[in-house]
Amino acid sequence: MRLYSHFSFDTLSNSYLIGPRGGGAAALFDPVSFDVELLDLIESQGYYIRSVLLTHCDEEHVGGLRTLRRVYDCTVYAAHPTVMGMSAVTLSHGQVLDVLPEPVRVIALPGHGSDSLAYAAGGFLFCGSAMSAGECGPAANPYAKALLLANIQNELLSLPDETVVLPFIGPPSTIGLEKRTFPMTDPTRIAEQF
Amino acid sequence: MFKPGTHPSRPVTAERLKALLSRFETVMDLNMPGLELDELEIRGNAFYGCNFATVTQTGGEVADCNFELCFFPFSSLSGVTFVNVKMKNCVFGATRFTDTLFRGSNVIQCNFNGIQASSLVFDDCDLLHTRFDTAVLRHTRFENCNLKETRFLRTDTQQVEFRYSNQEDAVFATGGEW
């Protein structure tokens, strides 16, 4: 598989394009915007977007979805059955998708939002805004934050150290590095999260 | 992009890396952790999706190069100079920097979380959206740098000097208020 990131300078957030080497059916994670740069990237690599996987259904994660679907006949995968009035395949925790050459495992991360998902595929973790490098994502209240921290600890930080973490906001990381710098791994800093 | 968790490219030697760089201007998907490099000069190469975790580099200069989605975590860089380098989405987390200089470079959305730095200088650099969370920065200077959305969360900045940089656009927090 080959991975590309697309950084939106408008929103300072990331989309990720992943597909087989040599082109073909590809998947796009969180189409925050659909601009000429992203279109060039997709087309220059010989890709056709077949799948759009959402880590969250907030407007900021799907800003480019409507335009994207005008260009590509793609299926949207999310925790909700409809996104921006468009139908989506509803996902739940533990499902395994075959939209890429390697299986994509769905991980539910309630706490950031009820519809918050992460995807693990081929040594990559697409974790949305539930976590980013050195930081737990935002939550509505302390209870949600505690739930999110527990889910990150149990579901994400338990992945192999070499797993590459690809968040919606901020730079990439690895699970091994997050175990060193993530607040949850230092008991003295858990209180700071509340 | 290198495949995480797979065996590194063999043999993992500085000589092999030098041979690759002399043959190919663009290097993609290279998985070469644990390299030991001494006074290596790299000029005019582009790197995409490469893994150089736990590299030890002493001396040398990296000039006019592009790096995107490249990984250097848990490394040690001493006496290395980066000049006119464009980096995006690169990871240097938990790396030890000694007498290291970044000059005239774009270091966009890179991960310097948990680094230990002594005499680290960023001169005329764009550090948009780069993170230095939980880093310990000794004798570190940011001069004439763009620090928009550059983040220093729980960072030890007591020995950091900001000169002619827009640190008011950076994010500083010690923990509780974040």
Q: Which domain holds residue A64?
A: 2-193
**Does residue B44 lie in a domain region?**
yes
Provide the CATH number for the domain around residue A39. Answer: 3.60.15.10
What residue spans of chain A are helical by DSSP H?
36-44, 65-71, 142-151, 175-181, 187-190
**Does residue B108 lie in a domain region?**
yes
Assess contact for A44 and A1: CB atoms under 8 A.
no
Q: What letter does residue A192 receive in the DSSP assignment?
A: G
Among the ranges given (B9-23, B100-114, B156-170), the one the predictor scored with the smallest mean pLDDT = B9-23
Q: What number is the ipTM of this complex?
A: 0.93
Among the ranges given (A8-12, A107-111, A149-153, B107-111), the one the predictor scored with the smallest mean pLDDT = A8-12
Cβ–Cβ gap B74/A5 under 8 Å: no
CA distances from A148 to A13, A14, B29 (A): 21, 21, 33
**Does residue B163 lie in a domain region?**
yes
CB atoms within 10 A of CB B113: 32
Pairing relationship of beta strands B96-103 and B76-78 according to DSSP bridges: parallel
Residue B160, both tokens: 């950091």
Q: Which domain holds residue B67?
A: 14-173
**Does residue B2 lie in a domain region?**
no
Cβ–Cβ gap A173/B113 under 8 Å: yes
Which residues are CB-contacts of B104 (< 8 A; sequence separation ≥ 6)?
Answer: B83, B84, B123, B124, B125
Q: What's the angle, vertex CA A19, arms to CA A13 and CA A22, rounded to 5?
A: 130
Percentage of chain B surpassing pLDDT 90? 83
**Does residue B5 lie in a domain region?**
no
For testing the chain A interface, which of B32, B51, B66, B69 should be mutated: the one with the most A CBs within 10 Å?
Answer: B69
- Over residues A140-182, the pLDDT tens digits come to 888 898 899 999 999 999 999 999 999 999 999 999 999 998 8
- pLDDT at residue B178, rounded to an integer: 43
Distance to chain A for B143, nearest Cα, Å: 22
Domain count along chain A:
1
Region B36-46: mean pLDDT is: 94
**Does residue B7 lie in a domain region?**
no
Q: What are phi and psi of A23, to 5 degrees?
A: 95, 180
Distance to chain A for B122, nearest Cα, Å: 18
**Does residue B131 lie in a domain region?**
yes
Provide the CATH number for the domain around residue B81. Answer: 2.160.20
What kind and span of H or E run contains B15? Answer: helix B14-23
Domain count along chain B:
1
Region A97-124: mean pLDDT is: 93
